[in-house]
Amino acid sequence: MKKLLFQFDTDTHPSVFDTVVAYDGGADHVIGHGNISPDNVGALVEGTIFTRAPKDKKNTAIFIGGSNIEAGQNLLAAVQGYFFPGFQVSVMLDSNGSNTTAAAAVAKLGSSASLAGKKAVVLAGTGPVGQRAAAMMALEGAHVSITSRHIFNAEKACFAMKERFGVDLTPLEAADYDSRAAAIQDANIVLATGAAGVELLKPEHWQHNPHLQLLADANATPPVGIGGTDVLDRGEERHGKIVWGAIGFGALKLALHRACIAKLFESNKQVFDAEIIFALAKAMA
């Protein structure tokens, strides 16, 4: 019985990255579909749940991807809406790597020091990874702020995470180097989740900050998001702070992603979203 993973992507083209990791995670075949929405997913879901005997349904699973986490959440809800007792398969949500990347970054930060009670700032945190990482840190007891160039976007992200996870986040407008430096002035933790190749902080903005303890940068494309750090940093100490680079915690992200794919095929009733993925990340970290 082949392990079949159906990749439902909200973008036009299913992610090649997600396809490769799915094979590395143990899927025998990965079948990708693009431009999937709640309006057109029904027949695809029905095809996954009606074709195999109950004991064999664990060998079929669904992965939801794409660049938009809101679209991914809506698609996950739609997919689950077609399930009913005896007719369901396991499903995983990881739009733009949001859950696995965020979970790996926060788990590694948490492995370096306790996050509870700390002040954390997620720079350029309105994307899928930034939003979910902010929520995960808040669930660990940190007081978290999200920055954006425009306060409206930061407020929207904080509201979305309040609605999804029940956490209170603080929106901050920080459009340039000086305002971002001001945003982290009293922070103990900084996580940069900006666009690839965009420097958010220069070395002088963080190296002499006496409050900072932990830094992580999700950007692997030069220049890095936090100047003076390296993508290969794996809990390195720099200027008295512990630093994690994108590749440094990326090894856990890939291992976590593969582990989740493997676990999808253990039973047909699992839903891998942020909470379960983060719990697994902490155990692996």
Nearest of 178, 112, 167 to residue 143 by alpha carbon: 167
Query: CB–CB of 72/92 below 8 Å?
Result: no
pLDDT at 40: 98
Q: What is the pLDDT of residues 24-54, one digit of tens each?
A: 999 999 999 999 999 999 999 999 999 999 9
85: preceding bond cis by omega (within 30 degrees): no
In angstroms, rounded to a whole number, what is the distance separating the alpha carbons of residues 20 and 263?
A: 17
What's the burial of 31, exposed, middle or buried (CB within 10 Å: 0-12/13-18/19+)? Answer: middle
Q: What is the pLDDT of residues 213-224, one digit of tens each?
A: 999 999 999 999
Chain-centre distance of CA 73, in angstroms? 13
pLDDT at 230: 96
* Contacts of 223 by beta carbon, 8 Å cutoff, 6+ apart: 197, 198, 199
pLDDT at 240: 97
Both tokens of 277, joined, read: 């993925």
pLDDT at 60: 98
Q: pTM of the full predicted structure?
A: 0.95
pLDDT at 12: 97
Q: How confident is the model at residue 71 (pLDDT cuts 50, 70, 90)?
A: very high
Nearest of 113, 134, 112 to residue 123 by alpha carbon: 134
Q: How confident is the model at residue 142 (pLDDT cuts 50, 70, 90)?
A: very high
Chain-centre distance of CA 236, in angstroms? 23
User: What DSSP assignment string belongs to the chain?
Assistant: ---EEEEEESSSS--HHHHHHHHHTT-SEEEEE-S--TTT-HHHHHHHHSSS-GGGGGGEEEEEE-S-HHHHHHHHHHHHHT-BTTB--EEEE-GGGHHHHHHHHHHHHHHHS--TT-EEEEETTTSHHHHHHHHHHHHTT-EEEEEESSHHHHHHHHHHHHHHH----EEEE--SHHHHHHHTTT-SEEEE---TT---B-GGGTTT-SS--EEEE---SSSPSBTT--TT-EEEEETTEEEE-HHHHHHHHHHHHHHHHHHHTT-SS-EE-HHHHHHHHHHH-
Q: Cα dihedral sign for 122, 260, 256, 115? A: positive
Interval 80-109 mean pLDDT: 97
Interval 175-188 mean pLDDT: 97
pLDDT at 57: 98
